[in-house]
Amino acid sequence: MSCRLTVVGLGPGRLDWCTPEVSAILEDATDLVGYAPYLARVPQTCAARRHASDNRVEAERAEHALNLAADGGDVVVVSSGDPGVFAMASAVLERLDQDPSRWCDVQISVCPGITAAQALASRVGAPLGHDFCVISLSDVLKPWSIIERRLDAAASADFVIALYNPRSRQRPHQFTDAIGIVSRHREPATPVIVGRHVGRDEESVTITDLGRLDHATIDMSTIVIIGSSTTRVLDRPAGCRVYTPRTYADPRPAAG
């Protein structure tokens, strides 16, 4: 009897961006639990039973996984990216917290993965090289007023901001509102990096700026990184060219 529940991150897409630790845990599992498209990314060499569920049923999925583990399974809950970033690790703990006397025998652990913000940052250089924050624009689980307050605070404190769940079809205007809030504190020339399906076959990465950002290109498969006042774009043909310096000295040679 294992009675184990491990919450793992598969990384943003490519299998070689999934850690060897997670790959080994998947191979040894008796049951895999997760959102169907994430389960589909687990190689078929993993013989475990697969329990696919819809995206919006996190609490039920967590409870199902805890019950499978309590029955003696070696259960793995899969998340995309990192399981602790807007994903299943907190959903499992939140469910446990509601029922403190249940599932006492289940041993729970979390294995990290590369989160979408890191993956996109690496594609263009080092935009997260100095203080940054991550904000989900989804108001499914939190009120929009809190999102507005956090955007305003983060932008006024000059953090680089990575926006997760940026623009859904049900609430496209909220992305426009969010950019409006950030723009109160940032110049139109502030660098913005847009990554869609980062690390997957359909990947696209664009470097633009706050004033020219094309909102129509943003959807739920996209992550958006908005630079701080010090984030710079180097004038190079391609590849790594965006960074946020770790120092506050001007890196450009003095004029004259």
3-class DSSP state of 147: helix
Q: HSE (CB half, 13 Å, CA atoms) of 139?
A: 17
Cβ-based nearer residue to ligand SAH, 3 or 135: 135
Q: Which two tokens stand for residue 151?
A: 């955007």
- The residue from 35, 38, 86, 159 that contacts ligand SAH (CB under 6 A) is 86
Q: Cβ of residue 86: shortest distance to ligand SAH, in angstroms?
A: 4
Q: How far is the CB of 249 from ligand SAH (least distance, A)?
A: 33
Query: For residues 73 and 112, which CB has a smaller minimum distance to ligand SAH in the complex?
Result: 112
What is the DSSP secondary structure assignment for residue 254, as one 8-state letter? P
Q: In the 8-state DSSP scheme, what is residue 199?
A: T
CA 74, chain centre distance (Å):
26
- Closest residue by Cα to residue 183 from 155, 154, 204: 155
Beta-carbon count within 10 A of 60 CB: 13
Among 13, 34, 112, 191, binds ligand SAH (CB under 6 A): 13
The tokens 């993956």 sit on which residue?
Answer: 119
- Judged by CB under 6 A, the residue of 3, 69, 85, 154 near ligand SAH is 85
Structure tokens at 56: 């919006």
Given a contact cutoff of 8 angstroms between Cβ atoms, the answer to whether 6 and 76 are in contact is yes
Pick out residues in 154-193 that bind ligand SAH (CB under 6 A).
Answer: 164-166
Cβ closest to ligand SAH, residue 17 vs residue 159: 17
Q: Are strands 107-111 and 31-35 parallel, antiparallel or unpaired?
A: unpaired
Contact flags string 122-161 toward ligand SAH, x per CB under 6 A = ----------------------------------------
Interface with ligand SAH (CB under 6 A), residue total: 24
Point out which span in 66-74, 79-87, 97-105, 169-177 binds ligand SAH (CB under 6 A): 79-87
Which residue in 65, 69, 116, 225 binds ligand SAH (CB under 6 A)?
Answer: 116
Q: What is the closest distance, in whole angstroms, from the C-beta atom of residue 253 to ligand SAH in the complex?
A: 36
Q: Is 81 in the site for ligand SAH (CB under 6 A)?
A: yes
How many helices (H) and strands (E) the chain has is answered by 7, 13
Find residue 249's DSSP bridge partners: none
Binding site for ligand SAH (CB under 6 A): 12-13, 79-82, 85-87, 115-116, 164-166, 195-200, 220-223
